[in-house]
A and B are shown apart, each in its own frame.
Chain A
Amino acid sequence: MVGVAAQAVLATPAMPPSDQSLRGCKILIVDDDRLNVRVLQGILAPEGFTLADAGSGEGALDLYAEFQPDLVLLDVELPGINGFDTCRELRRLHGEEETAPVIFITARAESDDVVEGLTAGGVDYLPKPVRAREALARIHTHLHNRILMEQLSRANAAKNRFLGMAAHDLRTPLASIRGLAEFLQDPALGPLNPSQRDLVETIHDTSRSMLHLVNELLDVATIEAGELKLQPGPCDLGKLVEKSVYLANIDAARKDTRIVVEPADATSLTLDEARMKQVVDNLLSNAVKYSPPGATIMVRVGRDNGTCSFSVIDQGPGIPDRERHKLFKDFGRLSVQPTGGEKATGLGLAICRKIVEAHHGAITAENLPVRGCEFRVTLPIPA
């Protein structure tokens, strides 16, 4: 038996070892020259790949949907639409992330052609005449990458499901703990001595901040899984902001902070009110969190040039330049600390950005010349 194996290896001394894990992978060969197709079949069939071929770009587009290849070998010079356009069309039809990797086969190995192929969405190219070893080595690499990408995407989806389930199942018990602790604080149930009161307060505050974290994790999982479904309706942005400011001022008063909203004209928009309220609340609570006690926070609502916007201007330390890139990312916690010992999850602004972008709007942060930072949300007014 050892002899046979050795012989098999010796018989193809120049070939890379065949990769059992890739057997059965589907490769679509697109070339108008039958001889080239046969050469490629001769190289690929012994590897255990499942093969299909098309003689034109149009034929490839038709066959792709039915064959669902794991990789496409695509000649550049084809009758009808050329290889580059075929590649662009495949990616347009099937999604940039989902389309199988495309390797161009070209006699035109000039740098410009290579660049055009790669910008058209190809992952690699093979010069004609095709050399078997090189072709197989490159194909193996791209198939492995494709498999890893699929595993990654499945793992990410599983992570989001897990995050969603865990957050969901933690939420109700946490709400009960928070609520029951509130009952314990109520003098109607009997007096607590100071250290008991202190313990109950800790239970209450801790469960409240955990509930907040869990809600944010649930939001991230929902949004990442593509399940952020907006429920748009008519909404007056000015009124929405004023309502949020009224409630936020109750919390702000604990830090001797004031939120002042400049009166605005009616600004009627179509948006998901509950989600946009989440954005406003988050920006307001951040402004209170990072401004020193005793600060005044300004809120403005305005409209111009087909957009509607609101800004929250705090008196905090601003965004350090070198940390700016983290600001709107998941878990993008900065070195800036809340001024009253409040908690930060690093998720709030990432969620805000996703909600605003789902409304086709933009969220920005600008440091002010002296101190403080202006967070601005701009939303389009439909024509």
Chain B
Amino acid sequence: MNFDGTILLVDDEAHVRKYIGLILTSTLTAPRIIEGSDGIEAMETYKSANPDVVLLDVNMPQQGGIETLRQIRAHDPDAVVIMLSSLTNRQTVEEALQLGAVSYIRKDTPKDEIAAIIRQTLAECFGDARQDDGA
């Protein structure tokens, strides 16, 4: 998929950042990926880098994804945030969607399905202009 925007990828676990990062680079043409490992740092990075999309882990020490999502949306009501969840806890996911997250990814989903969710969400948020128009 044709996408060259900036993606802020926030998860406290390095293996998740590596794995999801690989999915992003193999699914999108030229994403610029910035990594973050906690919610407080993510908020700072959001302000300075102004990314197009945030992939945000729900469960993080110090400051969790829900609170970080709240802060990001307060700072920028149009922020595009996709939650990363390891939970079967549908309540937390629903709370995130109510707070304005555009979709969520369960991290134990097979990689092709994760890639499909990312493509679909980006197409919905940024329209067809960025979707496969070079193909």
Contacts and interface: CB of A to CB of B under 8 A. Distances in A.
Contacts of A182: 110-111
List of 7 A-B pairs having minimum Cβ-Cβ separation, nearest first: A175-B108, A176-B15, A176-B19, A172-B86, A179-B111, A179-B19, A172-B107
Interface residues of B, number: 18
| Interface of chain A: mostly helix, strand, loop or mixed | helix
Contact of A180 (B19, B90, B114): B19
A222 B90 CA distance: 14
Contact of B88 (A172, A211, A222): A222
A183 B18 CA distance: 11
Interface of B: 13, 15-16, 18-19, 22-23, 26, 86-88, 90, 107-111, 114
A215 B106 CA distance: 13
A183 B22 contact: yes
Contacts of B86: 168, 171-172
A173 B13 contact: yes
Contacts of A172: 13, 15-16, 86, 107-108
Size category of the binding interface on chain A:
20 to 34
12 contacts: A168-B86, A171-B108, A176-B13, A176-B15, A177-B15, A179-B19, A179-B23, A179-B114, A180-B18, A183-B26, A183-B111, A188-B26
A231 interface: yes
Contacts of B15: 172-173, 176-177, 180
Which of A176, A186, A222 counts the most B-chain CB atoms under 10 A from its CB? Answer: A176
A175 B26 contact: no
A245 interface: no
A218 interface: yes
Given A172-B107, A172-B108, A175-B108, A180 B88 contact: no
B132 to A, nearest CB: 18
Contacts of B110: 178-179, 182
B97 to A, nearest CB: 14
A180 B108 contact: no
Given A180-B18, A211-B108, A231 B90 contact: yes
